Structure 1
Amino acid sequence: MTEDEPGPFRASREGQAWPADRVAEARAVIADVAHHSDHLIRLACNVLTSHGETEEERRDARALLFVIDARCPARLRHAQRTDHDDAPEVSR
């Protein structure tokens, strides 16, 4: 790969913009919540609760996360969590 080619592993100033890109993507998901899965909405809410610019944005993301979690019965959420608990460990 030459320096002129864009690529996923470039460690330049473009690599420093990824948090802002993720926040922008999370905002886009939240803006069009009716067309996204609950899982993707949860991910977007988690990004915004941690990295939102204002306290209002973080609070709204927490509120939406609460609503999304309330739509899913507790036993199903528990089953989804335990499905991943028995997954094989990945060593790096």
Structure 2
Amino acid sequence: MNPALPRPPLVSASGSGDWPADRVAEARAVIADVAHHSDHLIRLASHVLAQHGEGEEEREDARRLLLILDDRRPLRARRSDDDDAEVRR
């Protein structure tokens, strides 16, 4: 058996090493250009901002966007996702 190869250190794309801030910046970029991103990616970005946004206003806006996205989805898809979430618990 060969020994494991050394892994390079995990560094964010910006090189700053501050990956949470990088994820928030990416989420903001997705939200700023919603017309060119899928609902799934927008939903992920909204979850990031709802949890880690800088101010209460940004977090509340992200929660509202999640509500809008949920209203756009067919009921069958929402029910399926809810069932999957319960299975994972």
- Which residue of the partner structure matches residue 89 of structure 1? none
Paired AA for residue 35 in structure 2: A
Taking only aligned residues, the RMSD between alpha carbons, in angstroms, comes to 2.6
Once the two structures are superposed, the pairs formed by residues 11-90 of structure 1 within 5 Å of their partners are 14-15=16-17, 17-82=18-83
Inter-partner Cα distance in structure 1 for 2:51 and 2:63: 10
Normalising by structure 2, we get a TM-score of 0.74
Inter-partner Cα distance in structure 2 for 1:47 and 1:38: 14
Inter-partner Cα distance in structure 1 for 2:55 and 2:10: 31
Inter-partner Cα distance in structure 1 for 2:54 and 2:20: 12
Percent identity of equivalent pairs? 63
Inter-partner Cα distance in structure 1 for 2:49 and 2:25: 9
Q: Deviations over 1:24-71 (max 9, x none)?
A: 000000000011001000100000000000000000000011001100
Instruction: Point out where structure 2 has 5 or more consecutive residues left out of the alignment.
Output: none
Inter-partner Cα distance in structure 2 for 1:22 and 1:39: 16
Instruction: Point out where structure 1 has 5 or more consecutive residues left out of the alignment.
Output: 2-6, 87-92
